[in-house]
Amino acid sequence: MKVFRRLLLFAKPLHHFLPEYIIYTFFGIIFGMLNFTMLIPLLDTIFQTKEKAHVYPAAAPEFSITHLTDFLTGTFEYYYGRISHNGEQQLLALGFVCAVIVAASILANISRYLAIRVMGRLRMKILESMRNQVFARLSHQSLDFYHKRQKGQILSTLTNDAQEVENSVVNSIQVFLRDPFIIIGYFVVLFLISTKLTLFTIIFFPLSGMLIGYISKQLKNKSRYSQEMLGKILNVSEETVSGVRIIQGFTAETFMQHKLADINRMFSKISRSMFNQREAASPISEVLGIGVVVILVMYGGNLVLSGQGGSLTAAAFITYLALYSQILQPAKNISNAITTMQRGLVAAERIYEVLDAPITVTEKPNAETIKTFEQSIAYDNMSFSYNDETHVLKNINLNIEKGKMIALVGRSGAGKSTMVDLLPRFYDVTTGSIKIDGKDVRDLKMNDLRQLMGIVSQEAILFNETVFNNIAFGQPDANKDAVIQAAKIANAHEFIKDLENGYDTNIGDRGLKLSGGQRQRLTIARAVFKNPPILILDEATSALDTESEKLVQEALNNLMKNRTSIVIAHRLSTIQHADEIIVMEKGEIMERGKHEELLQRNGIYKKLVEMQEFK
């Protein structure tokens, strides 16, 4: 029930759905039962077991189900008696009965159809809201969240798990909001016909419930493992598609095929077991239902034949069996829904794991606004670690004045990228602080803080969009002239205009239609277009060939004039003109100074240059 309540919250406001659905369902049940309740007067009248009524039934002094049933029955008998007052009009009377049944059937099915339309709107609203909330949650999570999870598992949650919720849990909601009321409604009528017989049949329901409950518990345990396997399949598939060049280059096709085949085999095995158990619920419930009907025929028939059934006549007993048969299908629907939904419940739990995962980097309620950068960036005795483990950065003290270019150098793993990731708050510092114009970045509005920065990473991250939309990322109404100017500064305009559709050319998944140098120049153009006061260049020229590097480096030099730049160095040409070079090792600042000063010290920096760490 907790899962259902949470799922229904996605459909708020519920008053747009539930009242309408309940009304349509109510009339569907009433008109559906009307067909069968009319069997008693019909059989009694046709077989002349009762005298035909010629007096219109009087209204009851107060409302009750019994009085309503008596009134409907009496009304039917009255009009039927008037029509069939002699034997020559029996065919006309039969037509009257058929007309009542057809009318009730049409009204019942119209009501059911309208209820299904309402439930369809509810289902789509739940799924739309759920996907939007999951995507929004993922969009705001810190990088730490993604480091702890496989990409395939995250994608599986957003796609497969959401689809599984639709296929099982949300469809089951329709069953649970409809079929229990159908069963209750029919049982009310059955009690009115024969309390003794109805109490006898109820004894068998707990047996069916226990069997279905046992199957459901087994299915839920297996469903979680199955969903994990599905996530691994998606993860391996994504890795294969992304790394197909390396896989083929290292002739590892067979290895990856075997890796996927092993996971796929485990997934198929558990899925077969789940399918067998899930499908077993339907025949079990059907066999139990038929068994109950057979016992009911024996017991009820004995009551009628022996005269111990009280008001239970032969016509009433036949009607009772017809009504009871209508309970079997909704009961079967409920048992099927309980077993089918187990996989969906596990999928829903995985979705809630994403929705409930805490966002570690959050904005304070009273966060300050910052629109400009005027003075300096200060790393004040700052340290950082992942999950309270060994410090990645230790006691960093660094002041970066406005308009200066600072270069970070050091071997791989020295903490350079982590240091720049802390500035836009992709992570939060563990101790100490980072300040912009004397204000702790944790006290600033996150959107304002990140608007001050333009980032070009080592990996050219582009989107399956046009060149124009990649440069003007996040600004679909951007001015085209400004986009072209940004491309020119990044020395990308010449190759863009030679593309098939120029700036309207779609560059494919992650920009794979372009060369490495072209992709990197587009990311630089994107940063240029944003025109931020602070630039973060994380080995921005590492993917460029010599010719492209010269073009881009010239553009970067022009771009960095009168701007504050933090550059993670990959090549000597990038950093030798920096205002200050920060040499890092094992998360600490070991040396700092200009290029010539550091060379004269014969320290770590000179060794890095001599070892050709920079080219």
pLDDT per position as a tens digit, 18-60: 788 888 888 888 887 776 666 665 565 555 555 555 565 666 5
Q: Which tokens hold the place of 176?
A: 């649970």
Nearest to 486 by CA among 518, 525, 455: 525
Instruction: Name the CA radius of gyration of the chain, rounded.
Output: 37
Whether the pLDDT of residue 443 is over 60: the answer is yes
The mean pLDDT of the chain is: 78
356, 385, 404 — which closes off a domain? 356
Nearest to 3 by CA among 90, 130, 103: 130
Whether the pLDDT of residue 543 is over 60: the answer is no
pLDDT tens-place string over residues 172-212: 777 877 888 888 888 888 887 778 777 877 776 666 656 65
Q: Does residue 365 fall inside a structural domain? A: no
Q: Does residue 401 fall inside a structural domain? A: yes
Q: Which of 11-20, 74-83, 569-578 has the lowest mean pLDDT?
A: 74-83
Which one of 30-44, 211-225, 335-349 scores highest in mean pLDDT? 335-349
Which one of 91-100, 248-257, 538-547, 560-569 scores highest in mean pLDDT? 560-569
Shared domain for 352 and 413, answered yes or no, is no
Shared domain for 404 and 308, answered yes or no, is no
Shared domain for 130 and 262, answered yes or no, is yes
List, in sequence order, the alpha helices (H) in 194-313: 195-202, 205-242, 244-249, 253-306
Please state whether beta strands 376-384 and 431-436 pair in parallel, antiparallel, or not at all (unpaired): antiparallel
**What local confidence, expressed as pLDDT, does residue 615 receive?**
43
Q: Does residue 234 fall inside a structural domain? A: yes
- Over residues 127-144, mean pLDDT: 83
pLDDT tens-place string over residues 322-334: 777 777 778 777 7
**What local confidence, expressed as pLDDT, does residue 548 receive?**
63
Q: How many CB atoms lie within 10 A of CB 95?
A: 12
Q: Which of 31-40, 102-111, 291-300 has the lowest mean pLDDT?
A: 31-40
Structural domains of the chain, count: 2
CATH number of the domain to which 540 belongs: 3.40.50.300
Q: How many CB atoms lie within 10 A of CB 559?
A: 22
Instruction: Give, in degrees to the nearest 5, the angle at Cα 48 between 77 and 325.
Output: 70
Q: Does residue 368 fall inside a structural domain? A: no
**What local confidence, expressed as pLDDT, does residue 218 receive?**
63
Shared domain for 452 and 343, answered yes or no, is no
- Residue count of the chain: 615
Q: Which tokens hold the place of 112?
A: 């059911």
Shared domain for 210 and 347, answered yes or no, is yes
Shared domain for 595 and 518, answered yes or no, is yes
Burial class (CB in 10 A: 0-12, 13-18, 19+), 605: buried
More confidently predicted of 136 and 314: 136
356, 390, 409 — which closes off a domain? 356
**What local confidence, expressed as pLDDT, does residue 54 receive?**
56
Residue 478: partners with Cβ closer than 8 Å, 6 or more residues away: 468, 471, 472, 529
Shared domain for 88 and 153, answered yes or no, is yes
Q: Which of 164-168, 310-314, 599-603 has the lowest mean pLDDT?
A: 310-314
Shared domain for 454 and 596, answered yes or no, is yes
479 vs 182, 299, 486, 529, CA distance in Å?
61, 83, 11, 10
- Over residues 75-80, mean pLDDT: 63
Shared domain for 342 and 388, answered yes or no, is no
- Over residues 146-160, mean pLDDT: 76
Nearest to 126 by CA among 179, 178, 168, 180: 168
Q: Does residue 291 fall inside a structural domain? A: yes
Q: Which of 116-130, 279-293, 419-433 has the lowest mean pLDDT?
A: 279-293
* pTM, entire model: 0.68
Which one of 166-180, 183-197, 336-350, 376-390 scores highest in mean pLDDT? 376-390
Q: Does residue 579 fall inside a structural domain? A: yes
Question: From edge to edge, which strands make up the β-sheet containing 534-538?
Answer: 453-456, 534-538, 564-568, 405-409, 580-585, 588-593
186 vs 89, 114, 173, 207, 496, CA distance in Å?
33, 21, 20, 20, 71
Shared domain for 223 and 138, answered yes or no, is yes
- Over residues 452-466, mean pLDDT: 83
Shared domain for 317 and 400, answered yes or no, is no
Q: Does residue 534 fall inside a structural domain? A: yes
**What local confidence, expressed as pLDDT, does residue 444 receive?**
92
Whether the pLDDT of residue 85 is over 60: the answer is no
Which one of 42-51, 267-276, 349-358 scores highest in mean pLDDT? 349-358
Whether the pLDDT of residue 594 is over 80: the answer is yes
Shared domain for 51 and 127, answered yes or no, is yes
Q: How confident is the model at residue 240 (pLDDT cuts 50, 70, 90)?
A: confident
**What local confidence, expressed as pLDDT, does residue 91 receive?**
60
Cβ proximity of 339 and 59 under 8 Å: no
Distance CA 355, CA 238 (A): 23
Distance CA 71, CA 68 (A): 5
More confidently predicted of 240 and 565: 565
Q: Does residue 158 fall inside a structural domain? A: yes
- Over residues 441-451, mean pLDDT: 90
Residues spanned by the domain of 245: 2-356
Distance CA 614, CA 539 (A): 11
Whether the pLDDT of residue 520 is over 70: the answer is yes
CATH number of the domain to which 60 belongs: 1.20.1560.10
More confidently predicted of 45 and 278: 278
- Over residues 447-466, mean pLDDT: 84
